[in-house]
Amino acid sequence: MIKFKTKSIITISEYLNAHTRDAAKMYLGVSPLSLYSNNENGSIAQQIYANDLRFRIIDSIYIIEIFDLKEDKKLNNGEQWRIVVTDLYNKATPIIRYDTGDIGVIELDSENKPYFPEIYARKLDLLYDTNGNLVPSHLSAKLCEYGNYK
């Protein structure tokens, strides 16, 4: 382990896979937390605890909905597809039902608070097999289980 005075690490942008999370903990002595955000809205959801990988949605600022992949139809909690955001406080440029281009699912915790179990991928990054079935989005992270790749 490298000796740093680091107390916390918050990552943004790409999916933080277990391999990278474990490496940060091993080398820096701190378990990183991941923040889900975009340029248009800012911070949308964040992991709160190192031992809980759920993303707590900032529901005091945003209404987050999940829509079907191919049509503008709202889905129920527990169903996976397009993450759509309505910003409740942007007075200058209202953002209403903005399609982030990301794929996710919303669930409710024991206190009825919404969260993402994880953020899956960008819609453009979805891969399908030769039978038209969706391939899990973290395929590259799975490769780390089989060796070190550059």
Phi-psi category of residue 103: left, alpha or beta, with phi > 0 → left and psi -120 to 50 → alpha = beta
How confident is the model over 76-84, as a mean pLDDT? 90
How confident is the model over 132-149, as a mean pLDDT? 63
Q: How confident is the model at residue 93 (pLDDT cuts 50, 70, 90)?
A: confident
Lowest-pLDDT range of 31-45, 53-67, 76-90, 111-125: 111-125
pLDDT for the residue 6: 80
Q: How confident is the model at residue 1 (pLDDT cuts 50, 70, 90)?
A: low
Q: How confident is the model at residue 20 (pLDDT cuts 50, 70, 90)?
A: confident
* The pLDDT of residue 140 is above 60: no
How confident is the model over 89-96, as a mean pLDDT? 87
How confident is the model over 99-113, as a mean pLDDT? 91
Q: Identify residue 50 by its one-letter amino acid code.
A: A
Mean pLDDT for the chain?
83
Task: Specify the DSSP class assigned to residue 41.
Answer: T
Q: Which position has the token pair 């829509």?
A: 67
pLDDT for the residue 73: 93
Element (H, E) at 6: none
Domains annotated for the chain, with CATH where assigned, are: 10-128 (3.40.50.12780)
